[in-house]
């Protein structure tokens, strides 16, 4: 087994999560909870991969420097996605002047029944 190969594989795995997790936040229903979970999972993955490399290869020493790339890229990617979340505009209302379906059906239920002869 190549001594640096385990650390390189761990770095690649962490780098994939470093990019995929923030990008997936763009479509998250609850951005802030998902971002918090993403940070927690990243920290667990970082610790687990580092401990796994130590268990397989012994102490990494200078080979642990490969983790600097995902360690610096994750906050940057998370920051970019957070700015994109803040800049993104809410959905525009319908342009034809009608109320959305949920509002028109709710107001129809609240209107009193018509009175008088039919």
Residue 70, both tokens: 């995902």
CA distance 73 to 35: 15
Work out the percent of the chain whose per-residue pLDDT is above 90.
Answer: 33
Give pLDDT tens digits for 18-52. Answer: 999 999 998 888 989 999 999 999 999 999 988 88
CA distance 64 to 43: 15
Taking the whole predicted model, whether its pTM rises above 0.75 is answered as no
Structure-model confidence comparison of residues 64 and 102, the more confident one: 64
């Amino acid at each position: 087994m190549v001594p640096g190969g385990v650390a390189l594989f761990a770095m690649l795995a962490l780098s994939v999560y470093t990019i995929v997790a923030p990008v997936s936040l763009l479509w998250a229903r609850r951005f802030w909870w998902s971002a918090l979970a993403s940070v927690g999972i990243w920290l667990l993955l970082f610790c687990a991969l580092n401990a796994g490399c130590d268990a397989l290869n012994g102490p990494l020493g200078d080979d642990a420097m490969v983790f600097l790339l995902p360690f610096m890229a994750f906050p940057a990617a998370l920051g970019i996605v957070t700015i994109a979340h803040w800049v993104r505009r809410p959905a525009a209302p319908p342009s034809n002047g009608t109320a959305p379906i949920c509002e028109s059906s709710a107001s129809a239920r609240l209107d009193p029944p018509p009175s008088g002869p039919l």
